Amino acid sequence: MLITILLIIFALIALYIGWYLVAHRNRPFLIFNPATNLSLSHAVTFWGVTMLVVGLVGLVAALINILLVTVIILVVGCFSGTLMLLSLMIFMR
């Protein structure tokens, strides 16, 4: 029961991050300005859609409540979040 609640929280956070990135793909946010850098805009769009998919699959995994699917989506979500942050560090100048 607790893992399901934590997975729902994880999925909601991933959905929020994905929505935020997709919503700001052509607007400045934090120290980034995707409107002036086309490759940054593509990266933000890619990672935003990826995090939206991770969040949606995470919610589905919480509903079907199969442990293997839960573990897989948590691992994929953690790796995609880490890779997103590492790839966005390239644009910090």
pLDDT digits (tens, 9 = 90+) for 23-76: 988 888 778 888 888 888 899 999 999 999 999 999 999 999 899 999 999 999
pLDDT of 6 > 80? The answer is yes
Give pLDDT, residue 17.
95
Residue type at 33?
Answer: N
Each residue of 11-25: pLDDT tens digit? 999 999 999 999 988
Q: Domain spans of the chain?
A: 2-91
Burial 20-42 (b: 16+ CB within 10 A, else e): ebeebbeeeeeebebeeeeebbe
pLDDT value, residue 28: 82
- Which pLDDT belongs to residue 34? 85
